Amino acid sequence: MSRSALNVAAIQQTSSPDKAASLATSEKLVRQATSEGAQLIVLQELHATLYFCQTEDTSVFELAEPIPGPSSNHLSALAAELGIVLVGSIFERRMNGVYHNTAVVFERDGSIAGIYRKMHIPDDPGFYEKFYFTPGDASFNDGRNGFTPIETSIGKLGVLVCWDQWYPEAARLMALAGAEVLIYPTAIGWDTTDEAEEQARQLEAWVTVQRGHAVANNLPVIAPNRVGTEPDPSGQSKGIRFWGNSFICGPQGEFLARADDQSESILHATIDRNRSESIRRIWPYLRDRRIDAYSDILKRVRD
């Protein structure tokens, strides 16, 4: 296989209230993906726990861990044993009162290549993330802007997290900083009371916007999402049915692999790392950007 070819995998899994059990599921699927040839493996957002943001509960902060800490050490050892680059997700305790939703990239030797702290934090019914997570900042990756790719032995990874996937600015800044692939660990699903037509529209929007980032930046996208129904601990709703549909697409938005909405899955694809450059030669979006006319993008609203 040529040096330009990179075998990647996205893990779609269910999670449980038992952190050890959830991590064991992640490990089992990572081992299987490695045995099937994956060199880069991406786990979904908050894969070690249930999606606890359906309610606001101060006891949940007990789940948070420092980095390094027990979960990151476990994933580090796994990456080193298998000789893979692994992207995991940690509910990070940075200090008392400051917590983050953090993606951690482990090198093939188990070292931490870098971290990305989720920058856009939602606050909607069933997704009360602002209660738990402080937005990311520039305190990592040598103090550079938060939208900075993480350098690894297999290339520069543009790691973002879930709600970040709706923002073209995040994808573009990663691309301009040299990212070779966009990665979106995700936890998103349906309100079980929504009608089927609305559920279909939401899912299609989620897929389409990320494929659009691939097209607009000529970069492949890896988007693992969780699957399964998780109850609302408060009993005020029927919970969230996470819609799965994890996918990997190429730099023109073409599907390379896609999961269903019900099953734990390992998605495999081979990414050609030279394709982005060849596509940018004939679709030169970055060349033709009118940066002299974009100053209003920095305003909350345009006057």
pLDDT in tens, 209-264: 999 999 999 999 999 999 999 999 988 888 999 999 999 999 999 999 999 999 99
Any idea which architecture 5-289 has in CATH?
4-Layer Sandwich (3.60)
pLDDT score, position 3: 64
pLDDT score, position 230: 95
Q: Is 45 a catalytic residue?
A: yes
Whole-model pTM over 0.85: yes
Low-confidence ranges of the chain (pLDDT < 70): 1-3, 138-145
Chain length of the chain: 303
pLDDT score, position 137: 84
Catalytic residue among 53, 92, 107, 162: 162
DSSP state of 238: -
C-beta of residue 268 within 8 angstroms of C-beta of residue 36: yes
The strand order across the sheet containing 150-152 reads 150-152, 155-159, 181-183, 221-223, 247-249, 255-258
Q: Is 118 a catalytic residue?
A: yes
Catalytic residue among 53, 65, 92, 118: 118
> For the chain, which residues make up each domain, given as ranges?
5-289
Q: Is 162 a catalytic residue?
A: yes
pLDDT score, position 234: 86
Q: Rounded to an integer, what distance in angstroms lies between the CA atom of residue 100 and that of residue 109?
A: 25
From 136, 105, 100, select the one nearest 120 (Cα to Cα). Answer: 136
